[in-house]
Amino acid sequence: MTNFATLTRMRIQLTLRNKMFLFFSVIMPFGFFFFYAVVLARGIPRAVLYFLGPVLALTVMGSFWGLSAALVTFREQGILRRFHVTPVTPSDMLASSVVANFVLTLPTVFIEFLFARAFFHVTHLGNLVSAFLLIAVGAVSFASMGLVVASVTNTMQETQVINQLIWFPLIFLSGATVPLADLPQVVKHVGLFLPATYLVTGLQSAIYWSFAPWSVDVLLALCSLALWAILTFFLSAQLFRWEPESKIPRRAKLLAAATDQRPDLQFQFFIPLQLSTYRLETAGAKLVGETAFPSRLMH
């Protein structure tokens, strides 16, 4: 346990030196916050409260970009090779990366809550216990996704391309930028299979509607994100490489493919996604109806 804590502390120190991580985990989240609060919500406390859920979701989701970029940079610079000669295992390295990412995400989230209260006079921030649980599980889930990207790419250029291919569907099909209720029906069904959708709607339920952790909406989001975190972390552990010239073992590829194709895992995701369709659409329609800046929201 002491070795893991030391490794995590070293990962935090190394990550803080990475400019890419600081941009995607600090600068970009605050940019989203002020854009949503000032431009979209127009500084109205109730509207800011509504947009706080998507903003926090974008903060958590953006961590996968910074983490994958940082890990690939460490591999290119030979930092991971140094860890390889120590008793550190791939699982230790990946788990410490997830914990370090979570620790570094929390201050940004806390400051966004503080800004909402201090600058935009949002007096009630919803159910903070539900929000914290969603942020914690969401951070682990998207950090694990970043580990998968970092495990299969060799250069920063490759990482940027794959991150962009992942990032745009996450932000445009999940309700983080365009309300879920406003999306076409076909696109909406695609969005229901994205973990980002459950993070966004779960945080909106926790913050805007003050839903408790045991409510259906929050539990559904937590279960979906937890399943996604387990799956992606397992894949990253199978595909992880210490050096860029190392090839992914054939056995690891087969295990990754088998995990991706296991019907029971797909079925586990399918059940909560389908059960939540009606609730998500209804909640999204209500939220959009109240926060599309009608006159009653402006006053």
Q: How far is the C-alpha of 218 from the C-alpha of 139, rounded, in Å?
A: 15
Query: Does pLDDT of 248 surpass 80?
Result: no
pLDDT band, residue 249 (cuts 50/70/90):
low
Can you tell me the distance from the alpha carbon of 298 to that of 10, in angstroms, rounded to the nearest whole number? 48
Asked if residue 112 has pLDDT above 90, the reply is: yes
* Token output for 57: 């979701």
Q: How far apart are CA 118 and CA 43, in angstroms?
A: 12
pLDDT band at 268 (very low <50, low <70, confident <90, very high): very low
Q: What is the mean pLDDT of residues 247-266?
A: 51
Choose between 280 and 133: higher pLDDT: 133
- In this prediction, residue 43 carries a pLDDT of 92
Per-residue pLDDT, averaged over 167-186, amounts to 83
Which residues neighbour 270 within 8 Å (Cβ) at sequence distance 6 or greater? none
Mean pLDDT of 24-52: 91
Mean pLDDT on 102-127: 94
Query: What contacts 276, CB < 8 A, 6 or more positions away?
Result: 192, 198, 201, 217, 220
- DSSP annotation of 246 reads P
Q: What percent of the chain has pLDDT over 90?
A: 33
Task: Using the predicted structure, report yes or no on whether residue 269 has a pLDDT greater than 60.
Answer: no
Give the pLDDT score at 49.
Answer: 93
The reported pLDDT for the residue numbered 22 is 78
CA 252 to the chain's CA centroid: 25
* Total domains, the chain: 1
Asked whether the whole model's pTM tops 0.75, one would answer yes
- Among 17-26, 158-167, 182-191, top mean pLDDT goes to 158-167
Residue 212: pLDDT band with limits 50, 70, 90: very high
Query: By residue range, what is the domain housing residue 224?
Result: 2-298
**Does residue 137 surpass a pLDDT of 80?**
yes
φ and ψ at 112, to 5 degrees?
Answer: -65, -40
Does residue 73 register a pLDDT over 70?
yes
Taking the C-alpha atoms of residue 135 and residue 126, their distance in angstroms, rounded to an integer, is: 14
